[in-house]
Amino acid sequence: STLWANKSTNLQRGDTASTIDVSVLDIRNTVGNVPMEWYQDYPHIGYNLDGKKIFKPIRNKDELDEFLDKMENPDYWRTVHDKTTASDIRLTDEQVDLVHRLQKGQFGDVNFNEYEPSVDFFTNEVMIHPVTNRPQDKRSFIPSLIEKEKVSKLVHAIKMGWIKPRKPKETTPQYYDLWAKEDPNAILGRHKMHVPAPKMRLPGHEESYNPPPEYLLTEEERLVWEQQDAEDRKLPFLPQKHSCLRAVPAFSRFIHERFERCLDLYLCPRQRKMRVNVNPEDLIPKLPKPKDLQPFPTTMSLVYRGHTSLVRSISASPTGQWLVSGSDDFTVRFWEVNTGRCMKTLEVGGAVKSVAWNPNPAVCLVAVCFERTVLLLNPSLGDRLVVSSTDQLITAYEPPEEDKEQAVTWALSEGLEHNMGHRLTLTHPKAVKQVVWHGKGDYLSSVMPDNSSNLQVLIHQVSKRRTQNPFRKNKGLVQCVSFHPLRPYFFVATQRYVRVYNLIKQELTKKLMTNCKWISSMAIHPGGDNLICGSYDCRLAWFDLDLSTKPYKMLRHHKKALRGVAYHRNYPLFASGADDGSVIVCHGMVYNDLLQNPLIVPVKVLKGHQITHDLGVLDVTFHPTQPWVFSSGADTTIRLFT
């Protein structure tokens, strides 16, 4: 609107700018072309020619006035407000006409003819007389020397072959027979070890646009798929079914997959992986059939019940008619093997840790150990002659002249205890864990595990009631000991090693590395050249003493800690009992030929014991003559497998 106002004032001022000042009325504002807002806060709006202030009209028109004016004034449409003078001006007819013409884009002057004929001053026709009279330059008709020089230089360069014409650009690549002279021997060394990239995996049924219904994911599977990370997904896409080819949409990850393939091709390290392509059946070792290795115990035939707490130890009599067992319920029980009948029950003053029947068939003696005592019992079972001769043997003892100081006090039982079967009581300085007889039945060894003293193993001679401590030094916590069945050797198993001592020479002959963490039990082959060690870390180590100090074979048959191992005296059998409640019987054939290694074949897994308090089988022992095995367990039972 300001533009409009200015225009209108200009119109009033006259036609040309130069005449403005002269022809204006004296009330004209002299402030010039400045924004009128500058005078907003003043009572005047400028100065007239005399320098007097031009005052604003006292009352400005408000909206209502404006509206009334619009309604009533017939000339309202041609009235223009002049801001510089703050007055309304009514446009004349000529002025309105001019405005209309300008709005239409016509010339302001009515009389201006825009189509006047043009005067052609310099025509294209050549006239007789030139427009200018200047003579031509000489250079306009003499060839340029500079250009000549340039051209001659170029010509020279071309002649000399310095400048070559530009080759035409090859837009399309040229193909030819690249492998026309292919020489398979010309393969570079690098390519000999080149690993070609594996091809893309071929699609399966699930990738089809119309797969069989079983390949579509169910609702749950789909949810799982969506929640999984992209790497964990088994399928990189969701199988979909479309009713017709027309309905198949574009695969949104197409470019991604191609790009990933590109990345694989140039970023992935490649390696030749040797994939083992074996038939799993071929891996199973070919062993002789257990059927051919009979006899061995196969079924559980008897359960000896009676104990009320776990049965720690069992031992069979040399005749094979009786069985003795020691339990945590402070009792020792004697059983008849064939009937399962408990013949005798003896109360002793503590949890029985170990029992051992004297292997000498001419003597009827049982060693029982509990707390700090080793008790020698005469169970009075079997042949009466043997029983009485045993008693005689014990009473026939004559004390030597000079009484030596002994680590153990020997005491003869009398009275009631004698009637109960007690014969000799050996009171040890420490708690006894194990008792073992020598094969001849005269010597007896007891183990008192103690990490800090050298008094851990004692060897007693029953006939002379003598005790000696064979070791001067402590070589670690002794787990169990054993006598060599034929020769004067003595085996001591500490936590990780088995030491073999020569008792005559009184020296260490061998130290066996068991590779176990903690030995629990040990058994010597009746031939004396082989040894098995059970350990708490589920292993059974077979040593061939002639071969090496390292195990000949490690058997990991059990799932839990081994508690007891045993060899059969006559048959090539050995058994191991473990906390998983099973007894595994193996065929362990030792050949007389030294060159032939022992043959070890597991023949039977015997189950029956229940696991109580995480304990299963605690001890195993073989019947001395039959291929039967006894096992005692934490479920208070003793079982016979035949």
Partner 1 sequence: MGGLQKKKYERGSATNYITRNKARKKLQLSLADFRRLCILKGIYPHEPKHKKKVNKGSTAPRTFYLFKDIRFLLHEPIVRKFREYKVFVRKLRKAYGKAEWTGVERLRDNKPGYKLDHIIKERYPTFIDALRDIDDALSMCFLFSTFARTGKCHVQTITLCRRLTVEWMNYVVTSRSLRKVFLSIKGIYYQAEVLGQLITWLVPYQFAHDHPTDVDYRVMATFTEMYTTLFGFINFRLYQTLNLVYPPKLDSKAESELKAEHEEDYAMDSESYLEKLSALSASLARVVATAEEEENQLDLFPTEGEDQENMQAREKEQKEQEAQKRLFEGLKFFLNREVPRESLAFILRCFGAEVSWDKSLCIGGTYEVTDETITHQIVDRPDMDKQYINRYYIQPQWVFDSVNAQMRLPVEDYFLGTTLPPHLSPFVEEKDGDYVPPEKLKLMALQRGEKPVQEEEDEEEEDEEEEEEDDEEEDDVDDEELTEEKNLKKMEGTRAQGKTLAVKVTPGKVKPWETGSVGNKVRLEQEEKAEEKRLAIMMMKKKEKYLYDKIMFGKKRTTREVNKLTAKRKAHEDASKSQKKQKKAKKQ
Per CB under 8 A, contacts with partner 1 among 243-272 are 243-246, 248-252, 254-259, 261-263, 265-271
Nearer CB in complex with partner 1: 465/609? 609
Using CB under 8 A as the binding rule, whether residue 177 contacts partner 1 is answered as yes
User: Which residue, 526, 535, 527, 528, is CA-closest to 510?
Assistant: 528
Nearer to partner 1, 61 or 261 (CB): 261
25 binds partner 1 (CB under 8 A): no
| Rounded Cα distance, 183 and 181, in Å | 6
d(CA 307, CA 358): 22
Residues 47, 48, 54, CA angle at the centre, nearest 5°? 55
Number of residues that bind partner 1 (CB under 8 A): 93
Q: Quick one: tokens of 604? A: 């039977």
Of 156 and 256, the one with the shorter C-beta distance to partner 1 is 256
Nearer to partner 1, 143 or 173 (CB): 173
Binding mask 378-417 for partner 1 (x = CB under 8 A): ----------------------------------------
Task: List, in order, residues 6 or more apart from 237 with CB less than 8 Å away.
Answer: 207, 251, 253
Please state whether beta strands 366-370 and 409-412 pair in parallel, antiparallel, or not at all (unpaired).
Answer: unpaired
**Smaller CB separation from partner 1, 26 or 214:** 214
> Which is closer to partner 1, CB of 126 or CB of 195?
195
Structure tokens at 274: 């040797």
* Rounded Cα distance, 291 and 486, in Å: 32
Binding of partner 1 by 163 (CB under 8 A): no
CB of 343 to partner 1, least distance (A): 13
Question: Positive or negative CA dihedral for 251, 257, 258, 259?
Answer: positive
Among 47, 69, 211, 526, binds partner 1 (CB under 8 A): 211
Comparing CB distances to partner 1, the nearer of 53 and 270 is 270
Residue from the set 63, 114, 183, 402 that interacts with partner 1 by CB under 8 A: 183
Question: What whole-number distance in Å separates Cα of residue 211 and Cα of residue 234?
Answer: 17
Which residue, 76 or 259, is less far from partner 1 as judged by CB? 259
Smaller CB distance to partner 1: residue 420 or 554? Answer: 554
Q: Does 168 bind partner 1 (CB under 8 A)?
A: no
CA distance 1 to 99: 14
**Candidate residues 117, 285, 349, 415; the one interacting with partner 1 per rule CB under 8 A:** 285
Interaction with partner 1 in 313-352: which residues (CB under 8 A)? 341
The angle at the Cα of 630, spanning 575 to 358, to the nearest 5 degrees, equals 100
Identify which of residues 142 and 284 has a Cβ nearer to partner 1 in the complex.
284
**Closest approach of partner 1 to the CB of residue 559, in Å:** 11
Whether residue 359 has a cis bond before it, omega within 30° of 0: no
Q: Dihedral sign for Cα 154, 159, 161, 165, please.
A: positive
Residue 166 within binding range of partner 1, rule CB under 8 A: yes
Burial of residue 392 (number of CB atoms within 10 Å: 0-12, 13-18, 19+):
exposed
Of residues 597-626, those binding partner 1 (CB under 8 A): 600-605, 607-608
Tell me the backbone φ, ψ of residue 145, rounded to 5 degrees: -75, -40
Residue 230 binds to partner 1 (criterion: CB under 8 A): no
Q: From CA 103, how far away is CA 94, in angstroms rounded?
A: 14
- Least separation in angstroms between residue 528's CB and partner 1 is 25
Residue 132 sits in the site that holds partner 1 (CB under 8 A) = no
Longest dimension (CA), the chain: 176
The window from 96-104, 120-128, 286-294, 460-468 that contacts partner 1 (CB under 8 A) reads 286-294
Q: Cα-flanking dihedrals φ and ψ of residue 575, to 5°?
A: -135, 155
Select from 51, 161, 165, 184 the one that contacts partner 1 (CB under 8 A).
184
Pair 443, 463: CB distance under 8 Å: no
Q: Which of residues 492-521 bind partner 1 (CB under 8 A)?
A: none
Q: How far is CA 68 from CA 86, 87, 90, 412, 642, in A?
A: 19, 17, 17, 147, 130
Residues 6+ apart with CB under 8 A from 285: none
Told to check if 225 binds partner 1 by CB under 8 A, we report: no
Under rule CB under 8 A, residue 228 binds partner 1: no
Restricted to residues 549-568, the positions that interact with partner 1 (CB under 8 A) are 555-557
Query: Is the Cβ of residue 366 or residue 538 nearer to partner 1 in the bound state?
Result: 538
- Taking CB under 8 A as the binding criterion, the range among 214-222, 388-396, 469-477, 565-573 that sits at the site for partner 1 is 214-222
371 in contact with partner 1 (CB under 8 A): no
Tokens for 75, please give them: 């000339």
Q: Which of 52, 150, 153, 305 binds partner 1 (CB under 8 A)?
A: 305
CA distances from 15 to 84, 110, 331 (A): 19, 14, 143
- Closer residue to partner 1, CB minimum distance, 215 or 330: 215
Nearer residue to partner 1 within complex by CB, 178 or 504: 178
**Is residue 303 involved in binding partner 1 (CB under 8 A)?**
yes
**In one letter, which amino acid is 410?**
W
Scored b (16 or more CB within 10 A) or e, 299-333 reads: ebebebebbeebbbbbbbbbbbbbbbbbbbbbbbb
Q: Is 596 a residue that touches partner 1 (CB under 8 A)?
A: no
Q: Which of 3, 60, 175, 593 binds partner 1 (CB under 8 A)?
A: 175
Stretch binding partner 1 (CB under 8 A), from 110-118, 275-283, 395-403, 525-533 = 275-283
Please identify, using beta-carbon distances, which residue of 261 and 440 lies nearer to partner 1. Answer: 261
Does 429 bind partner 1 (CB under 8 A)? Our answer is no
The residues pairing with 341 across neighbouring beta strands, listed in sequence order, are 336
Q: Tell me: does residue 473 bind partner 1 (CB under 8 A).
A: no
Pick the binder of partner 1 from 52, 205, 384, 517 (CB under 8 A): 205
Nearer to partner 1, 376 or 586 (CB): 586
Residue 231, both tokens: 């790497």
**Helix (H) or strand (E) run with residue 47 in it:** strand 44-47
Least distance (Å) from partner 1 to the CB of residue 187?
A: 5
Residue 516: count other Cβ atoms within 10 Å of its Cβ.
24
Q: How many CB atoms lie within 10 A of CB 568?
A: 25
